[in-house]
Amino acid sequence: MNNISIPARKKARELAKYLRGERPDYYYLKALFKELRTELEVRVPGSSRKLPYVPTEEELKRYYNAVWSSSNFQDMLIIKTLLYTGARVSELSNIRLDEIDFQSCRIRITQGKGKKDRMVPFPQSFKELLAMHHRSMKEKGASYLFESSWKKKYSERGIRKIMAKYTNKSGIKQQLSPHKLRHFLFTWLKKQGVDDAFIQPYSGHESRQALEVYSKLAITEAQEKYDKVMDRFPV
């Protein structure tokens, strides 16, 4: 409970009398009140962040069985690409045919979140299926990896609708979104003992604390760690 008797507005006017002659700018006032909080030992309340929902392996298997049972090859490719690469839905929608490197089993994500480019991996076991689809799309004159019969790239909304359809078919209570598949991949890699420093080059996440460590890691080192564990991936 706040026991201060002087209203904040009145106190602000008193402080303004002392500061007006100095004509302080925003940044000075921001620094000033930061120092005031320190002097008065006022703590800034932290905001509690809810942990994201991550599907279990059992839920993922049920979901993928629903996809497999549909016999829709392109839908299966979309969901497997999301699962294996951890790409965001906007990034998946924008993958072009010439951005896939089958020799290295990597896909270039161009202008991802934060307008940054990066490479994401896919497992050797996925290479043949992806190559078949790639060849088929190329023969149709497509530019993007996933295009409709009208030669338009799949929209983010369209990909979300595809995913929602199989959530309903599988009977899973929680809707599985592209971002939840992304959470699953990175959580699963962590459980396999893959260090954050090796996951970061693929995830596109950055933090000031991690940058120094991550910058020292070559993409090939990260791929070696990824390849070692992906044989155990649930689907």
Task: Give the confidence band of 78 by pLDDT, cuts at 50, 70, 90.
Answer: very high
Q: How many alpha carbons fall within 13 Å on the CB side of residue 141?
A: 4
Round the average pLDDT of the chain to a whole number and report it: 85
pLDDT reported for residue 227:
87
With H, G, I as helix, E, B as strand and everything else as coil, classify residue 144.
Answer: strand
- Is pLDDT above 90 for 166? yes
For residues 98 and 175, give the distance between their C-alpha atoms in angstroms, rounded to a whole number. Answer: 32
Q: In what order do the strands lie in the sheet with 100-101?
A: 100-101, 106-109, 118-121
Helix ranges, the chain (H): 8-19, 26-39, 57-69, 73-85, 89-93, 124-139, 156-170, 178-191, 196-203, 208-214, 219-230
Non-local (6+) Cβ contacts of 235 within 8 A are 60, 61, 64, 80, 83
- Average the pLDDT over 218-224 and give the result: 70
Q: What is the pLDDT of residue 143?
A: 95
Place of tokens 């703590």: 43
Per-residue confidence at 205, pLDDT binned at 50, 70, 90?
Answer: low
User: How far from 221 is each of 195, 202, 203, 227, CA to CA, in Å?
Assistant: 12, 12, 15, 10
Q: Exposure pattern of 89-111 as b/e (b: 16+ CB <10 Å)?
A: bebbbbbeeebbeeeebbbebee
Q: Which of 63-67, 166-170, 215-219 has the lowest mean pLDDT?
A: 215-219
Q: Could you give the CA distance from residue 146 to residue 76 in angstroms, rounded to a whole number?
A: 11
Q: Residues 90-134: pLDDT tens digits?
A: 999 999 999 999 999 999 998 777 678 888 999 999 999 999 999
Rg (CA), the chain: 25
CA–CA separation, 135 and 129 (whole Å): 10
**Confidence check: pLDDT of 5 > 80:** no
Nearest Cα residue to 178 out of 160, 155, 202: 160
Cα separations in angstroms, 54 against 51, 59, 118, 182, 183: 9, 10, 24, 9, 6
DSSP 8: H
**What pLDDT is stored for residue 128 in this prediction?**
96
| Domain 57-230 homologous superfamily, CATH | Intergrase catalytic core (1.10.443.10)
